[in-house]
């Protein structure tokens, strides 16, 4: 891969100069954590030639571990190295591989707060505990990738989702190491940004030995950027396998066994809380003035994407005249009846618990300009789903649920009327929730198919 040496040299030289203040700032802010030996390209060596899997953070690390577990079944003699970029991801991945009973719960809790699926059995990562290690990835500049790869000498590199770092990829290909992208994702918006890099990004994609896209839209976007059609396939995302297990193994328990009607809005962004609060307040007022005298009542759980905003959201609700408080800390067993009028989640790792309490789930990041969040999470639990129009990161998943009447996409201006309809006829939420659970349960887990395809490429492109 000598043709990659010139762009690699230019990238390392120019990028190294430009990255000094960026790296210094990130280090001060704690975004890197420790393990500076790894980050500067000096990982500890163990004499093996592992399959190196790289992930960005907690969510991607969960997908990576699911994939590694499947790879280990197919290739029981292989060793693995998992690199995770963020401190929280490193901590969660290390806990999951510690070999302790039930340690794999760490990633699920850190990601979405989901309980392990009922009947999930023993820890599927237990067999990996003595064949896998966790480390930090090298910085993509200062020739750290080359040093890192030379010391580790991996048999192959598998990159999860969108971690397309030119320095690492160019260095690996220059050394003849096969590089594959697993659960690859690229939205149309991201594709427009990547096109600004011109032929360099096209060459980067064409150097990959396999691009396993999450969905058909992602595959088409990769192809539009110059990816090789023969090496670009759609194989799904292991990140959803846990939700498939939940949908299949957890019994369907409808939340709406009586009042109150609970709405949980997950991963909300600034601007969405005000929209949702005002819609719920209008519902309460309309309910109080209705000819029925009183209805079932409505309670709202807001789970902001960044929990540090919880206090300001509580203050906003109080300014609107609503009783609001933070929830999620030590108050672990509120139940539906114990919820305040407006509860704002102030801890990470509990979202799935509050989806379980809900009759209806609102998907955040979709009612304001953004890319949305995963609608399969509440659907797997049997909860009806409502999202806004901005779902570019999960467009295929949203369309999949909408086609099966498990999800409704609405404009922000119509949120009140849609909520009023669900509140008036709770059986609609029950029906859509059951449809969603059945839809997710019917999906095919991605990790086994993806592992088989990746291993075939590894065996075809690497010696031994």
Phi–psi pair at 455, nearest 5 degrees: -65, -35
pLDDT score for 120:
44
Q: How far apart are CA 307 and CA 345, in angstroms?
A: 7
Angstrom distances, CA of residue 142 to CA of 19, 20, 147, 330 = 9, 10, 10, 46
Cis peptide before 260 (omega within 30 of 0): yes
pLDDT score for 104:
42
Structural domains for the chain: 2-237+446-461 (3.40.50.11720), 255-441 (3.40.50.2000)
* Count of other CB atoms within 10 angstroms of residue 30: 10
Are the beta carbons of 210 and 457 closer than 8 angstroms? yes
399 pLDDT above the threshold of 50: yes
Q: How confident is the model at residue 37 (pLDDT cuts 50, 70, 90)?
A: confident
pLDDT score for 116:
43
% of residues, the chain, pLDDT over 90: 60
291 pLDDT above the threshold of 90: no
Q: How far apart are CA 243 and CA 437, in angstroms?
A: 10
- Per the model's pLDDT, the better-predicted residue between 78 and 126 turns out to be 78
12 pLDDT above the threshold of 70: no
27 pLDDT above the threshold of 70: no
Long-range (24+ apart) CB contacts under 8 A made by 454-460 are: 454/67, 454/71, 454/156, 454/158, 454/180, 454/182, 454/210, 454/212, 455/71, 455/74, 455/75, 457/156, 457/178, 457/180, 457/209, 457/210, 458/51, 458/155, 458/156, 458/178, 458/180
At residue 232, the 3 state secondary structure works out as: strand
- Per the model's pLDDT, the better-predicted residue between 247 and 166 turns out to be 247
pLDDT score for 393:
87
For the entire predicted model, the pTM comes to 0.83
Q: How far apart are CA 223 and CA 140, in angstroms?
A: 25
Beta bridge partners of 301: 264, 343
Q: What is the dihedral of CA 418, 422, 425, 426, to 10 degrees?
A: 170
Are the beta carbons of 53 and 64 closer than 8 angstroms? yes
DSSP assignments along 249-299, one per residue: HSPP--S-SSSPEEEEEEEE-TTHHHHHHHHHHHHHHHHHHSTTS--S-EE
Q: How confident is the model at residue 119 (pLDDT cuts 50, 70, 90)?
A: very low
Q: How far apart are CA 27 and CA 205, in angstroms?
A: 30
Token pair belonging to 110: 């850190």
**pLDDT one-digit tens code per residue, 326-338:** 998 655 556 788 8
pLDDT score for 46:
76
Residues 166, 167, 170, 176, CA torsion sign: negative
Nearest residue to 263 via CA among 391, 416, 414: 416
**pLDDT one-digit tens code per residue, 302-351:** 999 999 999 999 999 999 999 999 998 655 556 788 899 999 999 988 99
Q: How far apart are CA 136 and CA 36, in angstroms?
A: 8
Rounded to the nearest angstrom, the gap between the alpha carbon of residue 114 and the centroid of all alpha carbons in its chain is 13
Q: How confident is the model at residue 88 (pLDDT cuts 50, 70, 90)?
A: confident
Nearest residue to 284 via CA among 297, 265, 272: 297
Q: What is the dihedral of CA 79, 83, 89, 93, to 10 degrees?
A: 10
pLDDT score for 115:
44
């Amino acid at each position: 891969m000598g043709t990659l040496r010139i762009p690699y040299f230019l990238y390392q030289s120019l990028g190294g100069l430009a990255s000094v203040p960026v790296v210094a700032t990130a280090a001060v802010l704690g975004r890197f954590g420790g393990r500076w030996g790894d980050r500067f390209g000096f990982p500890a060596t163990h004499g093996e030639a592992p399959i190196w899997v790289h992930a960005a953070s907690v969510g991607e690390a969960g997908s990576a571990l699911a994939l590694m577990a499947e790879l280990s079944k197919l290739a029981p003699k292989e060793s693995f190295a998992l690199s995770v970029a963020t401190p929280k991801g490193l901590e969660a991945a290390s806990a999951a591989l510690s070999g302790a009973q039930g340690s794999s719960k760490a990633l699920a809790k850190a990601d979405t707060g989901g309980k392990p699926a009922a009947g999930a059995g023993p820890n599927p990562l237990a067999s990996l505990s003595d064949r896998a290690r966790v480390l930090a990835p090298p910085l993509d500049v200062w020739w750290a990738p080359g040093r890192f790869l030379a010391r580790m000498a991996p048999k192959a590199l598998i990159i999860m989702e969108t971690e397309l770092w030119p320095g690492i990829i160019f260095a690996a290909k220059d050394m003849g190491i096969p590089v594959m992208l697993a659960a690859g994702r690229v939205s149309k918006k991201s594709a427009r940004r990547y096109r600004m890099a011109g032929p360099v990004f096209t060459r980067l994609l064409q150097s990959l030995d396999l691009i396993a896209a999450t969905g058909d839209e992602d595959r088409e976007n990769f192809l539009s950027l110059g990816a090789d059609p023969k090496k670009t396939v759609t194989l799904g995302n292991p990140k959803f396998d846990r939700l498939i297990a939940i949908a299949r193994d957890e019994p369907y328990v409808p939340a709406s066994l009586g009042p109150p009607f609970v709405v949980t809005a997950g991963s909300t962004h600034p601007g969405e809380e005000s929209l949702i609060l005002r819609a719920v307040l209008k519902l309460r007022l309309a309910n109080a003035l209705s000819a029925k005298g009183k209805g079932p009542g409505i309670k709202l759980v807001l789970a902001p994407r960044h929990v540090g905003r919880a206090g300001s959201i509580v203050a906003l609700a109080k300014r609107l005249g609503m009783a609001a408080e933070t929830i999620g800390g030590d108050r672990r067993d509120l139940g539906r009846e114990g919820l305040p009028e407006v509860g704002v989640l102030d801890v990470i790792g509990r979202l799935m618990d509050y989806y379980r309490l809900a009759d209806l789930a609102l998907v955040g990041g979709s009612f304001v300009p953004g890319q949305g969040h995963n609608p399969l999470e509440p659907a797997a639990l049997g909860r009806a789903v409502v999202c806004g129009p901005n779902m570019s990161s999960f467009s295929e998943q949203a369309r999949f649920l909408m086609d099966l009447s498990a999800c409704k996409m609405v404009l922000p201006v119509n949120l009140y009327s849609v909520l009023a309809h669900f509140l008036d006829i709770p059986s609609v939420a029950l029906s859509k929730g059951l449809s969603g659970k059945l839809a997710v349960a019917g999906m095919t887990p991605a990790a086994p198919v993806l592992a088989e395809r990746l291993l075939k490429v590894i065996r075809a492109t690497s010696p031994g």
